[in-house]
Each structure stands twice: as structure tokens, then as C-alpha cells.
A and B are shown apart, each in its own frame.
Chain A
Amino acid sequence: MSQILDPVSLARLKNLELRARSVVEGALSGLHRSPHHGSSVEFAEHKEYSAGDEIKHIDWKAYGKFDKYYVKRFEEETELRAYLLIDCSASMGYRGSGVSKLEYARMLAASLAYLLLKQQDQVGMVAFGERLRGYLPPRARSGHLNDLLTALDGVEAQGRTDLPRALAYLSEVVQRRALVVLFSDLLGASNDVRHLLRGLRARKHDVVVFHLLDRDELTLPFEGTTIFESMEDDQKLIADPGDVRKAYLAELDRFVEGYRSSLREGDVEYHLVDTSEAPADVLVRFLTGAYRTRMRGGGR
């Protein structure tokens, strides 16, 4: 499966929907079980009664305690709201021998959107760089996939990253509990990002981070004296990769491990993704991972 659906082969499929479908079908054929758990009705929150509210939803026990009318509000489990956050900074445009990280993020996001919409869930999208590049509110209607894929196709890698700003925006937008999925290389992101992501989780949102890194970034395979230039500013470094490889890999390990441990502590699901991996494999890992467990445990 992963050989057929490797990122380079998928990138050759021009239609993003086709790509997403390929990824999802590949993933599902390996999964055998659907993550859809059926519908149920679950209490969500109290609201002070106002004119027009259903009388049958007034919580009489609460009236007995507080001498005020409160109305119970419910939500259906099948109505999952998912926000796909796509990092579109210039660093996401890095392409080693395969596809760029942004390309990979697009494939993964499209696949996830396809999967969720197929289950009648609502999917929205936030594309950001230094500023917000695009926003599509969550919908579950049949034509929404096309809107999402068009929006994803339209994003380009450029400029710096301001992930805290994007997360702050999302906090404002998302009122109800939702699934927040971040696709980013986290390069150039400040330490606030970890706190913000943990904050989202603290507010009962399910937060998943796909940390995308190119194979070059994971191994620094270059030889010979090289002038390295930054993709987001004008920093440069002349070095022989052989001289700095060991130290770089140590820094990278510290960087990845910092995110992994911090996010896991905050119950945020973290996936380090090598963009040379097949997207279907990543999707399977996600669908069979912590998120699914939480779903089955009746967290909602």
C-alpha cells in the first residue's frame, strides 16, 4: 500500500480529491474497521432560559437549586467539528528529493477531510503563515469537500510563521468542542505554541499535531562545503555538513523531543512525520492511535 501510495506517486495525481480518496481508501483497506461509532445524544451545557427556547428542555432540578430557569443543551456525536490548520510559511515549501512539506500537508489534510466528510462530520480549514491566509468554516454538506480542496490547492508556501497568532484566532472561532489538527514543521515557532496547544486541549478540544519534516531535515545528508540559506529570513551559514552533522542531529533531536514530551504531557496527540513516508501509513497511524482510543472510550 505504502509503495503504491507514496507521496511522489500521489503528487502525480493532479486532482487533490482523487489523491485524498486514494489515501483514505488505502488507509481504510488496511484498517478494516470504521472509526464511526453511531449516534447518541449527549448533554453539552446549561443556558439561561430566554424566550423561544423549548420548554421541554428546562432543567427543573436546576430551577429547584438556583430558582432560575436553565435550559439543557445537547449535541450529537456524529456532528464532529474538525479544524484543519495548515502552516503555509516558506519553510513548508522545502522539498528534498520528494514532495514539499506543504504538498504533503495538503495531501494529508485533504485525506482527513475526505474521511470526516464521508462520516457526515463537519470540517473547516485555517491556512496561516505570518498572518491568516484563509479560513473555511466547518460544514458537513456534500459540496463542502470541493470548497476545502480548492482552498487547499490555493495555498502557497511563503513568508514567516506566526503559529501563536493562528492558534489565538482559532480559540476565538471555535466555541464548541472540536478536533483541531495542525499540519506544520514547527520551525520558527516560539515556545508559546506548546502552551497554546495545551490550552486548546484544556478546553476539551481534541488536538492533533502532524509535525512534518523532510528526510533531508531529519538526516542532513549533504556533502561538501555548502552555503545554507534560511527560507524565511536572510540568515546564512557556510559549513561542511560533515563537520556539523552530529551537532545538528543532536539539536534536531532536542527540538523534536521537546515538542513530543511537552505535548504528550498536555494530552495533545503528536505525530512526527517524515515526508518520504506514504501518507496512507501516517493516516493509519493516526486512526489507530490515541485519538481513536479516546473516541472509543466515550470521551464525548
Chain B
Amino acid sequence: MSFVAPAYVALTALFIVPIAIHLIGRSRAKVRRFAALELLLQGERRVATRTKIRQWLLLLLRALAIAAVPLILAKPFIEAVSDDLPATAVGGSQSTVIVIDDSMSMSAERRGQPLVEAARTRARRIIEALGADSDAAIVLASKGGGAPVPQLTADRAKLERAVTDVRPTYRQTDITGALKRAAQILENAARPERRVYLLSDLAAHGFTSEAPWAAGRGPDLVPIDLTDGKPAANRAIVALTTEPAPHLGPRGVRVSVEVANFGNEALKELPVTLRVDGKPVTKGLVDVPAHGRAQKRFFHVFQPSASESDIGVHEVIAELGPDALTADDRRFARVEVRRDLRVLLVDGDPRTSRRDDEVFYLETALRPGDRDDSQLDVTTVAPDELANRRLADFDVVFLCNVKTPDGAALHDYVRHGGGLFIALGDNVDPDAYNDALGDLLPQPLQALRTVGATAADRDDGERLAGGNGQRLGRVDRNHPLLAPLGESHAAEALEAARFSRYALFRPTAETQRQVLLHFADGAPALIESHLGEGRVLLWASTIDRDWTNLPIQPAFLPLVQQATRYLARAPMREPEAPLVVGQHHEIALRDGELRVEVTQPSGRQRVFERDKVQGRKALAFDTTDEPGVYRVATAAKDGVMRPRRDATFVVNIDATESDPTPIDPARLKQLAAGGGAKVAGAAPKRRVELWHSLGALLLLLLLGEALLLRRK
């Protein structure tokens, strides 16, 4: 037995105090003459033996109780043979890094407790067993987990606190990274013996092919397999994808669920449940072979809800019955079902020949091949029919070469959130337009510039050929309308467009406008402005082939599609691929948003405001530390928080974490031998603190003494 504070041991000699008091007490006993001594003697004879035993027992208890107090203060301990620590657990002077795996796979339950709990217990024992002269640090083995105790310290309390604070996470395992960090910490260690204890399930997915340290130059690695080489037979949903199912209509979706079986036994008729917006909608059975995978497909038609104003964002969850590792029994997806955008085309130059019609190319581009899934509901009217239409029923209005538009009605429409696209043509008189539309025009028209033959000049119908006319110049690729074009060949196609005539604009002091496209001569080609809650795009040329050949260029379709969505405030691009835990996510911000609240699946809220939001196009969100659906709400100047369903995103766990296959022992051995140091051959031992037991014994002694005194 050893002591943490051996100086106190000397005080155990105080056990003689009660014995001395007993002896002194006897010698100093009062003498009393007593008449009934005969009766007293008779009584005493009856209880003499019992009294003597009790007195000796009392004396013994008191002596032991007094001796126990300094013993407790001395903190005695023994080094017991351990069945759960490797042979190197107790050593002399050493510098140690304890690497604790806190990745998702460590939340698997074994013997009724998560593996990370077992890791904490073992870590505490290692700390207890370290020699008095040793120091230690603690590193976590999940990706981005960091190091709770990044510097070597001899402060046991600090180390134990850090161990207690370790919690299972949903992050991926990065044992190689953690070992590298451990090696860095040990580089400056003062003690010659350097050791890394790795507490993990030792699943192969946590190791990369890269060695954490050069052979023979690293510390000794002591891997401790918390599964005892018997990982639990896990099953998991490793993928969940959704894609449109056109045969079920625009709201039909096909959901594919991939189930993996990492166990040695095949799974028969494993139930898979599909939940939509929290409610179970269907259930299917799937057979998965041992160490194999299987797919289950579901079809679902989303119903529009009354609250859906522009788009419908739905949460889809596929789940299995729980097993030892429950975190991977669910997977999340976000499905965006859009309401069809309603577009009104005002045809300022209708023709009997469809190809010559002012809106032929535009209509074709908005509804390619008349497909039902274009999600655009296009209506074409002549200018004189416009008065009979309720503009508020449409998301976007295209004015295409209209002679005298109703400025007041359009003004009111845009102010209340409508989107207006103005395309020019031969019917447009600049002055009349300036008068009729006023501030609806992002920039007042001045004159028309003709740089080549227009359709009117070409009676034979010859179209503008490549090489003639003006071309487009600078393109603002940062604008959300044009950004998608930069990712495709459409951008190159824009350069191929030629213009024989286009409008020139008067200079203006208006700062709200923005020129999105320029002609090569610097004149604006596409100008955007905001009015009230609506947006206006002014196109300096025609939307048909009268002044330009753009409608027959590949860029035309995405340009008008994007312009329509932009004006209707519909999302510009397809939903992002699902994120995995720990990945960075960018939330697209709208103009004027001043505050953003992100609600995590657990209900925790994160608030962003001021310089993180104001004037930015996107918000960087890094706290994707749990799987599930993250909801976004924003507030503008009025301070009222409004949900942004379009910004909802889901985070899933990394499917590789589900695979419990352990690392090849030969490879582990190779890693462990990386240090080149000989592992001490001492018998496995751990420190067992005795003062708790002594404290309990002291209480028992005092209790026994009280009982004996009471029995007098």
C-alpha cells in the first residue's frame, strides 16, 4: 500500500489516545461507599462477561476510528492487477496523450452503456494509474473534435474534468488526425517515455492510409479496443435520395432508401418507415444480405398546403427499428415542391405566323416542349386584353414590344411584389414609354441605336447573321440571375449573340438600379431596379429575333428562365446536396435581411445579426453538429421573424461511421510499433484508491460506537 500524503500516516499513532484515556480513567475512578454493594456485585456478576466484551469492543472501535482519520488524509492506494488496462498502464515517469474517440460510432451501446462511457471510465483509470511524476494531455478523435487538454499537464483534476466532459458526437472519426496531434503534443515532452493511449472502437473507417508519424520516430501507441474485438452487428440507412416522379404529376417524388447490413447474419423483412413532415406515410420491408446492401423505393405525391405561398419544402425521413447504434437508423432529406409560376406574356406584335410572333421564342423557352413539369403556367394576351386581366394573379408579367402600356396598373402591380420584364421593339416610342411608365423604367429611354439590318429591313426574312451587329460585353456573374449561367456553356453562348438595334438610355442619378449585362460599347443591355416590393428588368432589345439573334442562342432559354424565377423570387437553382455532420453550409440571404435565426434539430437556436448578415449575400453556418432538419427564419427592418422555408436544410451523419468493421490487427500492430520503443513488460496494474473505503469504514466505526453506547 502506498500513500499520496504519507506524512499523515505518523498521526495514526494517536490510536493510543482512547486506550490511555481508558487507563487514566480507571486510575482516577471515584471511590464511593455504597450500602447495597452486595446487590451491585450480584448484578455485575450477571453482566460481567458481556460488559467486558462491550468495553473492549468500544475501546477497539475508538482506537480504530482515531487511526482512520489520518489514514484517510494520507490517501492510501494500492496498485491492483488490472484486467482492463494494457500492460503499460502504470509506469514511472512518462508523458502521455489520451486519445478518446467521441465519434458517432462510439454512441453504440455495449452492455447497456454507450462505448464513449466505457472510454471515459478507462481514461479515468489511466489518469489514476499514472505515476506521480507523469503528465498527460487529452485529444478527441472525431473530426473537428479538438483537444480538451491540449498541453501536457500534471493536474489530475483538470484531466479528470476534461474526461467527464467528453460526450458522444455525430461527427466522423479521424483517428489518424488525432494521433498526429498527439505526436505533436509529445514532441516537446520533457520525459523520455512518451505514450499515446487510444480509446476507441478501432473501426477501420477512422484510419486513413497515411501514417500518423514516421516509422520509429513516434510515441508508443497503446490501442484499447472498447468493443473487445466484437463490434455490434450494425444496420443503417446509408443513403436517402429523392427525385421527381413525372408520371405522378409535378408533385410526385421517388424516394430511394439504401439500407446496409454490417452484421454476419442476413436481415429478413426489415421494416423501413417513410415519414413526411413528421408523419409516417408508408412502410416497406426489405431483405438485406449479411455484409450487403439493399434499396427500397417509395413513391409519394405531396399535397399542396394552404400555407404554401410560393414553394413547398417538405421533410422526408426514412427510419429503421432501433439497434445498438441508433443514430444511423434515420436519414433525412429535404424535398422542394414548387407551385407553378404564373407568367403573363403581353404580346405587342401578334402574328398569324407563329414564328413571327413577338412572344414565340419567349413562350417556347418558358415552356420547352410543352412539358408539364416546366412548373411555369404561361398565359399570352394581346395588349388590349390586358385591361381584362387581374395582374395580381400572375407572378411575372412580360411586356413584349407593347405600344402603350397601362403604366398605373403596372406600377401598382410591381409595388405590391410583382415582377415585370420590359422588352422593346419597333412599337416602342422612347418618349411615350418614359411618359407612360415613369419610374417603372430602371432608366429612361433616350433613343434607339441601329448597328445592322433589322428584320424590317430584311424583307426576304433573312435573319441577322453572326459577325454582324453589336455583341454583349461585361457580364455581372455575381448576380443571382446570371450566376448559374457562369457554370454552363450558356455563358459562351451569350457572347455569340448579336444585336442590330438596341436602346440607349438617358443618364440617371437613380442608385437603386443595377446593370446586369452591357453591350460591348458599354451601353446597358439588361437593367434591374426595385420598386416597392417588386422587381423590374428592362431589356434594351427585342425578345424575338427582330433586333437580335439571341433567341436562337443556347443562352436564351436559361436566361429567360432565370429572369422569370428571379422576378418571381423563386429559387434560382436546384436544392443543394444533403450535408453531413460537421460540414460548412451557406445560407443564401435576401436583400434587407438583418437578422437570421437557425433552429437546430434539437431545438437549440443560433442567432446571427449585424455584420454577419448585413450587406452579405450568404451566411456561413458551421454548427452542423447534429443530424436532422435545420429551420431558418429571418427578420428585415421591421424586426418580425419570418420563416424562410426555402432556406431549410438537412444534415445527415456520414454513412461511413456506420461500418463497425475493425481495423486489420496487422496494421494496428504496425502503427503501434511506430514508436520503436519497447513496451514495458510489467504486469498490468491500476491504482485503486482506498480512502473512500476507509471513509466508509470510519462511518461504520462511529455508528458501531454509538450503538454500543446506546446498549448500556
Contacts and interface: CB of A to CB of B under 8 A. Distances in A.
Contacts of B44: 237, 239, 244, 247-248
B32 interface: yes
A261 interface: no
B31 A227 contact: yes
B42 interface: yes
Interface in A216-274: 216-217, 220, 222, 224-231, 235, 237-240, 242-252, 255
Nearest to A247: B43
A22 interface: no
B29 A224 contact: yes
Contacts of B25: 224-225
B40 A244 contact: yes
B26 to A, nearest CB: 6
Interface string B1-37: 0000000000000000000000001100111111111
B51 A237 contact: no
A242 B34 contact: no
A185 interface: yes
B712 interface: yes
A229 B37 contact: yes
Contact of A248 (B26, B33, B35, B43): B43
Given A217-B36, A228-B34, A229-B33, 11 more contacts: A92-B35, A185-B36, A222-B32, A225-B26, A230-B33, A239-B44, A245-B712, A248-B40, A250-B46, A251-B42, A252-B36
A249 to B, nearest CB: 8
Nearest to B44: A244
Nearest to A249: B43
Contacts of B38: 187-188, 230, 235
A235 B37 contact: yes
Nearest to A223: B30
B47 interface: yes
Given A225-B26, A244-B47, A247-B47, A237 B41 contact: yes
A187 B36 contact: yes
A77 B451 CA distance: 171
Contact of B31 (A213, A229, A247): A229
Interface residues of A, number: 38
Given A224-B29, A224-B30, A243 B36 contact: no
A116 B43 CA distance: 41
A207 B548 CA distance: 153
Contacts of B42: 251
A102 to B, nearest CB: 11
A239 B35 contact: no
24 contacts: A187-B39, A217-B34, A217-B35, A220-B40, A224-B25, A225-B30, A227-B30, A228-B32, A228-B40, A237-B41, A237-B44, A239-B40, A239-B51, A242-B712, A243-B712, A244-B40, A244-B47, A244-B51, A246-B47, A247-B44, A250-B43, A250-B46, A251-B39, A252-B36
Contacts of B46: 247, 250-251
Contacts of A213: 36
Nearest to A157: B35
Interface of B: 25-26, 29-44, 46-47, 51, 54-55, 712
A284 to B, nearest CB: 26
Contacts of B39: 187, 248, 251-252, 255
Contacts of A214: 35
A215 to B, nearest CB: 12
Interface string A4-46: 0000000000000000000000000000000000000000000
B29 to A, nearest CB: 4
B32 A226 contact: yes
A224 B22 CA distance: 11
B43 to A, nearest CB: 3
A229 B35 CA distance: 8
Contacts of A247: 43-44, 46-47
Given A238-B29, A244-B40, A251-B39, A230 B47 contact: no
A216 B34 CA distance: 9
A217 B46 CA distance: 18
A94 interface: yes
A239 B41 CA distance: 10
A111 interface: no
A86 to B, nearest CB: 16
A91 interface: yes
A146 B29 CA distance: 46
Contacts of A220: 40
B61 to A, nearest CB: 16
A20 B31 CA distance: 35
Contacts of A216: 34
A244 B43 contact: yes
Given A229-B33, A248-B43, A252-B39, A243 B51 contact: yes
10 tightest A-B CB contacts, nearest first: A247-B43, A248-B43, A91-B35, A94-B35, A225-B29, A230-B37, A251-B39, A251-B43, A243-B51, A242-B712
A121 to B, nearest CB: 32
Interface string A91-111: 110100000010000000000
A233 B43 CA distance: 18
Contacts of A246: 43, 47
Given A239-B44, A244-B43, A247-B44, A185 B30 contact: no
Contacts of B43: 244, 246-251
B53 to A, nearest CB: 11
Contacts of A225: 25-26, 29-30
B103 to A, nearest CB: 67
A87 to B, nearest CB: 11
Nearest to A222: B32
B712 A228 contact: no
Given A225-B26, A247-B43, A231 B34 contact: yes
Nearest to A233: B37
Given A224-B30, A226-B29, A227-B29, A243 B55 contact: yes
Contact of B47 (A92, A101, A243, A252): A243
Contact of A185 (B29, B35, B47, B51): B35
Nearest to B40: A248
Interface centre among B44, B46, B54 (most CB of A within 10 A): B44
Contacts of A228: 32-34, 37, 40
Given A243-B51, A243-B712, A251-B42, A226 B30 contact: yes
Contacts of A231: 33-35, 37
Contact of B32 (A229, A240, A242): A229
B712 A235 contact: no
B492 to A, nearest CB: 110
Contacts of A245: 712
Nearest to A93: B35
Contacts of A252: 36, 39
B19 to A, nearest CB: 14
Contacts of B41: 235, 237
A229 B40 contact: no
Contacts of B40: 220, 228, 237, 239, 244, 248, 251
Contacts of B26: 225, 238
Nearest to B36: A217
A247 B50 CA distance: 12
A244 to B, nearest CB: 5
A213 B34 CA distance: 12
Interface centre among A213, A226, A249 (most CB of B within 10 A): A226
B518 to A, nearest CB: 111
Interface centre among B30, B34, B37, B38 (most CB of A within 10 A): B34
Nearest to B39: A251
A57 B712 CA distance: 72
A266 to B, nearest CB: 23
Contacts of B55: 240, 243
A137 B448 CA distance: 168
